[in-house]
Amino acid sequence: MAGYHAEPPEGAQLAPRARASVGEMILCCFLPLMVIVVSTALIRSNQYLMQKENFPYPFILVILHCIFCSLFALALLFIKPSLYPALTDPDKKVELSWHYYSNKILPIALCFAISLVLSNMAYKYCSVAFLQMIKEGNIITIYMMALVVGLETYSHTQVSILILMLAATWSCVEGELNFSFVGFLVQGTASFCEAAKTIFQALVLSGKGQKLDPMSTVLVVMPMSGLLLGLVLLFNNLVIELGFAQQPSFQELWAWKGFLSLNILNAFLLNILIAVFLKYLSPVSYILTGNIKDICVVCMSAFLIHEAISMTQVMGFSMQVLCVFAWTGYKQYGIQVPKDEKAEVKC
């Protein structure tokens, strides 16, 4: 669960890092590659499971992720408490009161659960490459929401980049050879919920007041998401049957137990890698790593999986990638420059 990070106050200097050990330097070199490989593996394994002849139960898959990732995170809390400073460090400890849960954790958990179910459901209708292209446009929704809640300030440069991103995303949609409106609508809703989750998470991780670290967020949000989905499943079984909450038979679960176990471990490993990544590297590095991952996924879809991609989509996706690099560069070097240095540059 990667969070959207609010920018530091204007004029703030970045704190100098302590000298890293050789082990940390090696870890930092391999972290981006590990995140790309593990993230790509999760995308592909989810897409494989969602095929009609395999395990097309996105609702149940997400519930399994929530249950077992919560258990693994709880076990890791006892093994290495230092990974959860917001829960174990007296100076950083967050009071998990009912008010905190209902006002801060519940919105994140709800949006997170919906986005996961819908994003997995979208694999039933659209290719992985097309869905990744749609997800690239998430920064548009995130920026608009961030403006509303005060995490961002209006910038002509950022808006110009986002207009280009919107045009590029639209060309990817127009160029889709096997377009599915249902799939597009499902992924669009998933992206909206993902953007909302990102904003809510930003307020918890980087906003005013008590702050949760990434691993503590996983441990607190995952059980809540699983509980919400469990209540929907209970409603489906006891009140009225919901089409999107289809459930597999015990035989199907048992037949896929090996693949599902690997898929769940893959999801939890990705959560750990993201937390470690944000500890040793910057959020900007994470955004760039995610951008490279998207390139790898789309290229793999085109050249290895042989998914149909039009030339319009190739051009649109290329423009999306350039927009993300431009966006990241501006966020890093255009906003985090202190006022005095900006004045010197203008002179």
Give buried/exposed letters for 107-132 (b at 16+ CB in 10 A, else e). Answer: bbbbbbbbbbbbbbbbbbbbbbbbbb
- Cα–Cα distance, 29 to 242 (Å, whole number): 46
Specify whether the CB–CB gap between 280 and 28 falls below 8 A.
Answer: yes
Neighbours of 161 (CB within 10 A): 24
| Residue ranges per structural domain of the chain | 39-338
Q: How many CB atoms lie within 10 A of CB 175?
A: 19
Report the range out of 15-24, 135-144, 187-196, 332-341 with the highest average pLDDT.
187-196
Q: What's the rounded Cα separation, in Å, for the pair 308 and 89? A: 51
Contact 183, 126 (CB under 8 A): yes
Q: Does 147 have pLDDT greater than 60? A: yes
Per-residue confidence band for 120, with pLDDT thresholds at 50, 70 and 90:
very high
Answer yes or no: pTM beyond 0.85: no
Whether residue 141 is predicted with pLDDT greater than 80 in this model: the reply is yes
Instruction: List the end-to-end C-alpha distance of the chain, in Å, as a whole number.
Output: 42
pLDDT in tens, 306-332: 888 889 888 988 898 888 888 877 776
Across 18-22, 54-58, 117-121, 323-327, least confident range: 18-22
H-run or E-run covering 302: helix 283-303
The Cα-based distances of 291 to 61, 274, 284, 317, 326 in angstroms read: 26, 14, 11, 11, 12
- Rg (C-alpha) for the chain, rounded Å, is 21
> Running DSSP on this structure, what letter comes out for residue 83?
G
Cα→Cα distances 287→76, 179, 293, Å: 26, 28, 10
Segment 332-343 mean pLDDT: 51
Cα 31 to Cα 20: distance, rounded to the nearest angstrom? 15
